[in-house]
Amino acid sequence: MTPPPIDDSQPRRYRSLFLSDLHLGTRGTQAEALLEFLREHDAETVYLIGDIVDGWRLRSSWYWPQTHNDVVQKLLRKARKGARLIYVPGNHDEFLRAFCGMQFGAIEIHDSLVHEAADGKRYLVIHGDVFDVVVRHARWLAFFGDWAYEVALWLSTRINIVRRRLGLAYWSLSAWAKARVKNAVNFIGRFEETLAMEARRRQVDGVICGHIHTAAIRDLDGFTYINTGDWVESCTAVVEHQDGRMELIDWRRHSVALGNTSQATAIAALPQRRAA
């Protein structure tokens, strides 16, 4: 029996929604999938945890299609409807760090801050690039890595054109490579451990970050490490339920724009991945 169609006027409502690494202004952004997600998910507080707009890429070449503008408008519409919108800049939108501590309408800009969940747990919310040695001390290498990443995304786009014609879902070449290249795996592990140490130093229960485009919710020696992932490769976000539980949503498995054929069936089957 076919499930009834989803009522777009009644999105799932959460206490908090955490998004990072949208990279608006690049061709790799999965803007249509993100718009689907934003239509289906609402929250009292929306955190934008860095690299929302890709200033690095826009400086070298301007790319801003209507779908990217639609994403911005959708986020602003949530604020107009009463959501608290908090922007924590990252390295790709570091130009906004000059405005940290300021508020523009419903948008608050912070370098980092502590989020207190409904269950009393306290999380450091930070993009995470300040803990990336390459970004801090070898910016030329970071820019080179960004160029190589764009090449991988270009290849992914061509691969996925073929996959879509074959009826296959979205697949990320760069995400596949990161999961299998030893140095990348080691870097991700060190990054997670470093963020856990920072959480301990700041006397909080965990950290919510982005930056490395690798979504995760895991316990590290008693501290909760949460990475929201991105909207280029993983198409993931983290939501906080009304009781404080954290859930990681992998939208690739539910997106019509990324290859799923039935939106009603896909959305009805949303997973429940939670932190302890």
Quick: pLDDT tens for 163-207: 667 666 665 655 555 555 444 545 677 888 888 888 888 999 999
Strand 216-220 and strand 223-227: the pairing is antiparallel
> What distances in angstroms separate CA 29 from CA 64, 74, 153, 231, 244, one per listed residue?
11, 16, 10, 6, 30
What are 168-177's pLDDT values in tens digits? 666 565 555 5
**Res. 151: pLDDT tops 80:** no
Share of the chain above pLDDT 70, in %: 71
> What distances in angstroms separate CA 156 from CA 86, 153, 235, one per listed residue?
31, 5, 14
Q: Find out whether 244 and 274 touch, Cβ atoms under 8 Å.
A: no
Q: Which amino acid is at 191?
A: F
Q: Calculate the average pLDDT of the chain.
A: 81
SS (H, E, C) 65-102: CHHHHHHHHHHHHHHHCCCEEEECCCCCCHHHHHHCCC
SS3 state at 233: coil
Question: Residue 219: its pLDDT value, please?
Answer: 92
Phi, psi angle pair for 46, to nearest 5°: -115, 120
* Residue pointed to by tokens 């009522």: 7
Q: Domain extents for the chain? A: 13-268
End-to-end CA distance of the chain: 35
DSSP state of 170: P
Other CB atoms within 10 Å distance of the CB of residue 65: 12
Question: Residue 196: its pLDDT value, please?
Answer: 86
72-91: average pLDDT: 96
How many secondary structure helices (H) and strands (E) does the chain include?
8, 12
Q: Which amino acid is at 88?
A: V
Q: Tokens at residue 153, please?
A: 């995304």
211-234: average pLDDT: 92
Q: Which amino acid is at 152?
A: A
**What's the CA gap between 29 and 23, in Å, rounded?**
6
Q: Which amino acid is at 266?
A: A
SS3 state at 48: strand
**What's the CA gap between 229 and 214, in Å, rounded?**
5
**What's the CA gap between 43 and 109, in Å, rounded?**
18
Which CATH number fits the domain 13-268, given the four candidates 3.40.50.2000, 3.40.109.10, 3.60.21.10, 3.30.300.180?
3.60.21.10
Would you put residue 9 in left (φ > 0), alpha (ψ -120 to 50) or beta? alpha
Question: Residue 190: its pLDDT value, please?
Answer: 82
| The 122-125 sheet, strands edge to edge | 113-116, 122-125, 206-209, 223-227, 216-220
Phi, psi angle pair for 165, to nearest 5°: -65, -25
